[in-house]
């Protein structure tokens, strides 16, 4: 189902010399929405109007490296602390009051860490797909390599600049379609997981493709929007987020095992890999999110939570916001 986005306002916020594209509607308390990989502000198209109609100032951003936001060349420009800084600047641009921050996929860790590092500017936080997991004692890549065995975990596969980009650029449209479908609730879960790459192979080797050429939750118009964004920008900015995973672990050392103290909320899918991998993190929410106000796993939902089940996500998010 496509959404009419013609009434949304587009503008830019300066973040230490970086241009952050924001799309907004409505008036009231601020709700900042942060997308994941490989997406854009458009992944929140179903939520912006729903939140605006409910009395909130709904603001979806293009994370740096995506869409119309700045795309710095250095890999370290995509460190978590820098992306948290971008979100804080958007909050500050809205006014003196703190905002609620909602994130999906990589946007969830950005949202969680914004609440962790700047609780004075975050009224509450919600994560979709990826649960909050405090900074631990072992570098993440070491964990991924141990779990992968003789395979390569996709985050590890993304580390070497140029490798994933070459795979994508060989056929951008089919790569995006395969990535979106294989991670969705429509894919065949009995197939080999997309998250692992065979040495010498590519991530796309395990992609599934929809029989009819499109997905139930993503119209042709929606797909063409994403394709157009990445035809212009490429995916290097998105891959550079993954390439900071060790730097993030090092820089967040002062917050080792630290809980998030603001009101929190989580929504995952029972067919979503990151939600399933995060089962232990979800089980620890009582200590890591002491102000947790709800944790929901949606039946039949894959990775693209707010796009696959927008009505249910809107209902849950509005319930969370109204309870604050």
**For the whole model, what pTM was predicted?**
0.97
- Residue 259 reports pLDDT greater than 90: yes
Q: Is the pLDDT of residue 78 over 90?
A: yes
105 has catalytic annotation: yes
Evaluate if residue 38 carries a pLDDT over 90.
Answer: yes
In this predicted structure, which of 1-15, 39-53, 253-267 has the lowest mean pLDDT? 1-15
Which structural domain range is residue 152 located in?
A: 9-322
Question: Of 233, 211, 232, 214, which is closest to residue 222 (Cα–Cα)?
Answer: 214
Q: What is the mean pLDDT of residues 25-38?
A: 98
The average confidence (pLDDT) of the chain is 96
At 178-204, the pLDDT tens digits run 999 999 999 998 888 899 999 999 999
Would residue 257 count as lying in a domain?
Answer: yes
Residue 66 lies in a domain: yes
Q: Among the options 86, 105, 248, 272, which is catalytic?
A: 105
Task: Give tens-digit pLDDT for 119-161.
Answer: 999 999 999 999 999 999 999 999 999 999 999 999 999 999 9
Number of structural domains the chain divides into: 1
Residue 219 lies in a domain: yes
Is 104 annotated in the active site? no
pLDDT for the residue 202: 98
Mean pLDDT of 82-98: 98
Residue 233 lies in a domain: yes
Residue 267 lies in a domain: yes
In this model, does residue 177 exceed pLDDT 90? yes
- Contacts with 254 (C-beta within 8 Å, 6 or more apart), sequence order: none
Above pLDDT 90, what percent of the chain? 94
**In a domain? residue 2:** no
pLDDT in tens, 296-308: 999 999 999 999 9
Average pLDDT over residues 41-52: 98
Question: pLDDT-derived band of residue 229, with 50, 70 and 90 as boundaries?
Answer: very high
CATH of the domain at 52: 3.40.50.1820
| pLDDT score of 6 | 87
pLDDT class of 1 with cuts at 50, 70, 90: low
In a domain, 52, yes or no: yes
Of 225, 264, 289, 277, whose CA–CA distance to 42 is shortest?
Answer: 225
Whether 4 is covered by a domain: the verdict is no
- Catalytic, out of 18, 21, 104, 303: 303
Q: Is the pLDDT of residue 26 over 90?
A: yes
| pLDDT above 70 (res 213) | no
């Amino acid at each position: 189902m496509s959404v009419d986005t013609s009434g949304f306002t587009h503008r830019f916020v300066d973040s230490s010399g970086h241009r952050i594209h924001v799309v907004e509607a409505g008036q009231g308390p601020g709700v900042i929405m942060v997308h994941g990989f490989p997406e854009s502000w458009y992944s929140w198209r179903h939520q912006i109007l729903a939140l605006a109609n409910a009395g909130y100032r709904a603001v979806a951003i293009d994370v740096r490296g995506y869409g119309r936001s700045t795309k710095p060349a250095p890999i370290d420009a995509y460190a978590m602390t820098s992306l948290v800084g971008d979100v804080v600047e958007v909050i500050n641009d809205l006014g003196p009051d703190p905002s609620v921050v909602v994130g999906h996929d990589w946007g969830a860790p950005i949202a969680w860490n914004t609440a962790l590092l700047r609780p004075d500017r975050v009224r509450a936080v919600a994560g979709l797909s990826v649960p909050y997991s405090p900074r631990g004692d072992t570098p993440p890549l070491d964990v991924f390599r141990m779990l992968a065995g003789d395979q390569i975990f996709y985050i590890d596969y993304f580390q070497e600049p140029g490798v994933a980009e070459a795979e994508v650029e060989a056929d951008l449209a089919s790569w995006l379609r395969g990535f979106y479908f294989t991670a969705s609730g429509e894919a065949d879960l009995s197939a080999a997981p997309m998250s692992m790459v065979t040495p010498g192979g590519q991530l796309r080797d395990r992609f599934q493709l929809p029989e009819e050429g499109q997905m139930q939750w993503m119209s042709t118009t929606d797909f063409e929007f994403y394709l157009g964004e990445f035809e212009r920008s490429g995916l290097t900015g998105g891959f550079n987020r993954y390439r900071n995973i060790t730097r993030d672990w090092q820089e967040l050392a002062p917050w080792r095992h630290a809980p998030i103290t603001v009101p929190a909320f989580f929504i995952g899918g029972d067919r979503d890999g990151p939600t399933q991998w995060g089962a232990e993190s979800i089980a620890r929410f009582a200590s890591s999110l002491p102000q947790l106000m709800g944790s929901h796993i949606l039946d039949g939902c894959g990775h693209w939570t707010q796009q696959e089940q927008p009505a249910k996500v809107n209902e849950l998010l509005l319930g969370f916001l109204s309870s604050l």
